[in-house]
């Protein structure tokens, strides 16, 4: 048997320490939480993406009584960005969440497994690192790419024969 250790590299910020653009993205993610359709979970998530063409696009989670039919804010945002601006890479993605409208969680949430896979595919599609900002009122976690959140990756290379 061989035992190994995996280390994750990320930074922790206070909101005020972030550059203006990153604060703007977080503010956009927080604002779009209000458009979340979350009648079942009451868990509102918003995401905002800054693209390499300078555009900012946003999305929120959209639930459905048949749970697999809904979508998370991260996928909503990235799929919209890819549909609207198919040649533009996502450079930064900010994510915020609340259980009560307007009251954001103290600790940041992380993307679910399905979202991590979609974010990875998007990053690989453009061969450009996607910075991830996870907002909480007590701290903001920053990852230089989705690789840190999905260290053991399943890619298109795995299914080539």
What are the catalytic residues?
A: 74
In Å, how far from its chain's centre is CA 10? Answer: 15
Q: Where are the beta strands (DSSP E) in 33-139?
A: 44-51, 56-60, 90-100, 103-104, 131-135
Cα distances from 136 to residues 16, 42, 97, 142, in angstroms, run 12, 17, 8, 11
CA distance 23 to 105: 16
Strand-strand pairing, 103-104 and 90-100: antiparallel
């Amino acid at each position: 048997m061989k035992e190994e250790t995996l280390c994750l590299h990320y930074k922790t910020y206070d909101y005020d320490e972030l550059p203006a653009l990153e604060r703007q993205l977080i503010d956009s993610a927080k604002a779009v939480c209000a458009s979340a359709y979350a009648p079942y979970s009451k868990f509102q998530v918003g995401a905002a993406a800054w693209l390499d063409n300078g555009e900012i696009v946003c999305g929120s989670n959209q639930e459905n009584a048949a749970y697999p039919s809904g979508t998370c804010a991260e996928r909503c945002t990235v799929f919209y960005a890819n549909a609207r601006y198919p040649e533009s890479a996502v450079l930064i993605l900010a994510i915020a969440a609340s259980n009560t409208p307007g009251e954001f969680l103290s600790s940041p949430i992380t993307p679910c497994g399905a979202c991590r896979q979609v974010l990875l595919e998007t990053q690989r599609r453009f061969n450009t690192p996607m910075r991830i900002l996870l907002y909480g009122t007590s701290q903001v976690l920053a990852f230089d790419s989705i690789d840190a959140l999905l260290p053991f990756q399943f890619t298109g290379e795995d299914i080539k024969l």
